[in-house]
Amino acid sequence: MADDESTRLKRDAARAALALLPERGTIGLGSGSTAKLFIEALAELVRGGRDLVGVPSSRESETLARSLGIPLLADDGPWDIDVCFDGADEVDPQLDVIKGGGGMLTREKIVIAAARSTVLLVDESKLVRALGTTWRVPVEVVAFGHRATAARLSAFGEPRLRLTREGAPFKTDQNCVIYDVATGPIADAPALERDLEHVPGVVTVGLFTGRADRVIVAASSGVRTLVRGARA
């Protein structure tokens, strides 16, 4: 089946990312539909003999990478990751982002923290002036007492328990639940990330501030790369 426009743009971003791969080394493999396209493109290079190993940030990416023959390092770490490639849900002009639309935020944050550099791949619909404009902030919460934690989260915006299609609470790879918090446009994303992290029961906040070094943006007019700290 032919790609729709959004998939075509995601594929453009994934292909552009290949130019930032080292000749050999360890690559962080993100999660979500854009990361999936990147993993598929990476696998072609590995099949061609490129000496790259991966650290996947979700069971889903692990299964895909393994099935495509990408060698993977063990879950336990520590890893010496040269560069991590991942998707994002919203990107602001500082290259701070919201992630966790797929619910893999905890492992994504661990893998990104272990990487010397991070490249995010998005289509231009993900660019916003302020985080929280089009997305709620995903917050992964320990299942024990999660409704008490949600009551505390409500100080930051209405928390909505994420559900599966069948209506059951969505469970993460860590067997936690997710609340998507309607913050509205966020004035100070680093401060909100820190404040939410301090709520008892919170495992990971889907705000990733100060983490992305580059963002590859695919638009119908072409692909461009935003670099942290560069003038717009």
108 is catalytic: yes
* Whether 37 contacts 63, CB under 8 Å: no
Shortest distance in whole angstroms from residue 34 CB to ligand 5RP: 3
DSSP string, 71-95: -B--TT----EEEEEE--SEE-TTS
Q: Please report where in the chains the tokens 């061609």 appear, as a residue.
A: 48
| Options 108, 124, 140, 166, the catalytic residue | 108
Judged by CB under 6 A, the chain residues 58 through 117 that form the site for ligand 5RP are: 86-89, 99-105, 108
Counting residues that bind ligand 5RP (by CB under 6 A) gives 18
Cα–Cα nearest to 50, from 79, 19, 81? 19
Neighbours of 140 (CB within 10 A): 24
Which residues have C-beta within 8 Å of that of residue 156, sequence separation ≥ 6?
137, 181, 183, 192, 195, 196
Tell whether residue 204 is a contact of ligand 5RP (CB under 6 A): no
Nearer to ligand 5RP, 20 or 50 (CB): 20
Q: Which is nearer to ligand 5RP, 5 or 51 (CB)?
A: 5
What is the per-residue binding string for ligand 5RP in 13-52, x denoting contact by CB under 6 A? -----------------xxxxxx-----------------
Applying CB under 6 A, the residues found at the interface with ligand 5RP are 30-35, 86-89, 99-105, 108
List active site positions: 108
